[in-house]
Copies of this chain bind each other. A is one copy, B any other.
């Protein structure tokens, strides 16, 4: 954890909880049993950080060892288990919370990579994996093609820019909590703006080549 981003622990808890809700909802839709719903909550809420920790050698990963984060994921899954008929209608609210989670995970993940002495390019990749990896695991475990790879929303692109900004700031002199918070807000704003204005990534090139 990067203790000196203000409210970072709070934001990380929100991120894990929202991620877990998205995983549990996917499991509910697939008619998984209650064990599967909790596993999907865990995988979606903590899977990005778990991949990050395995890749940088921070084992055991916080996703299996930090009981506070794991409890958060299980509570998120439990809430979705009982309230999914209502919460599905609050979809827009959850998408905005998820944008916050993406922003926090990306910046926190990038900084953790840098703290473990990775190369700049590795820090950026690790940051994006922290932000988007939980959703990829969720989709693979429910038999879906990862939505982040094909839905043409700007989901990973804000994370990529945020991870690159964080890495650049790191090598320009260790960034202050305030500066990192600004990056978090920037990723969040870019993600929300892409939803609001329906910005899309292009599909395969169709030019006359």
Could you say which residues of chain B place their CB within 8 Å of the CB of A120?
Answer: 67
In Å, the complex CA distance between A194 and B63 comes to 30
Give the residue of B64, B142, B151, B152 whose beta carbon is less than 8 angstroms from that of A145: B142
> In whole Å, how far is A59's beta carbon from the nearest beta carbon of chain B?
4
Main secondary structure of the interface of A (DSSP, over half): helix
Give the residue of B28, B125, B157 whose beta carbon is less than 8 angstroms from that of A64: B125
> In whole Å, how far is A8's beta carbon from the nearest beta carbon of chain B?
21
A interface residues, tally (CB under 8 Å): 63
In Å, the complex CA distance between A150 and B150 comes to 26
CB-based nearest B residue for A113? B60
Pick from A77-85, A91-99, A103-111 the stretch touching chain B: A77-85
**Additional pairs, 4, CB under 8 Å, beyond known A27-B149, A140-B140:** A32-B204, A35-B156, A36-B149, A82-B207
